[in-house]
Amino acid sequence: MIIWTVFLLIQQSILVKDFTVQVPGIIQKSTRFLEWNVKGAHQVYLTFDDGPTPEVTENVLDILDRYQVKGTFFCIGRNVERHPELFQELLNRGMAVGNHTYSHLNGWKTPNKIYFDDVEIADDLIHSNLFRPAYGRIRPAQMYKLAQKYRIFMWDVLTKDYNQHISGEDCFQNIRKYARPGSIIVFHDSLKAQKNLEYALPKSIDFLLDKGFSLTDTL
């Protein structure tokens, strides 16, 4: 119980204040149900949340193809429903997909039953055993239950590409400073993040490949 209180309080301070790019080790170690990075991997994992979004997701796919690297896309079910051809394109191009809820629900503010139903609706569209909670916010009870069916992937490097007050170069610097073997990096294939994403993604891939990281595996 105490560990959960600590977990939620610290997670709250990180996510709400949005000032920390790298998740502190204490959070990463506080639960075995959430995966913050990939242990023992030499690879770095590119992940993209909140799509599929016309134009933005297509541009990401073109960038990834140009470098012949792969990504994992945690899709919002509602967006998959709106853009099924784009979702299919992700699969056709060899990307992995994961469930990011149907309506981008905040788990902390959502009763469990409603939350599980929403995830289930998304599952009917996405068909994946990978899950990432929207806003990174999930209650312990939700986590326990979903962990029976899904691998729940968080991240250890947040680009903050969605933040209108920082530049694409800032996003790249977050990766340059914090990426290490097994890191899971979060971008967003959303309209809000588009400008920063399209600047930082190719530059980050160049940097990571130069550092000798492989980017060809998905989660």
Under the rule (CB under 5 A), what is the footprint of Zn ion? 49-50, 134
Q: How far apart are CA 200 and CA 174, in angstroms?
A: 10
> Nearest approach, Cβ of 190 to Zn ion (angstroms)?
8
Output 50 or 161, the one with its CB closest to Zn ion: 50
Sheet holding 34-35, edge to edge: 34-35, 151-153, 130-131, 96-99, 71-75, 45-49, 184-188, 157-158
- Taking the complex as a whole, the smallest distance from the CB of residue 132 to Zn ion amounts, in Å, to 7
Rounded to whole angstroms, what are the CA distances from 207 to 113, 135, 173? 43, 27, 10
| Comparison of 50 and 189: residue with beta carbon closer to Zn ion | 50
Given the complex with Zn ion, which of 21 and 134 has the nearer CB atom? 134
Residue 79 CB, nearest approach to Zn ion (Å): 10
Nearer to Zn ion, 74 or 213 (CB): 74
Is the CB of 104 or the CB of 176 nearer to Zn ion?
A: 104
Which residues lie across from 47 on neighbouring strands?
72, 186
Cα dihedral value 173, 178, 36, 100, nearest 10: 10
Query: What minimum distance in Å lies between the beta carbon of 50 and Zn ion?
Result: 4
Report in angstroms how near the CB of residue 181 gets to Zn ion at its nearest.
Answer: 25
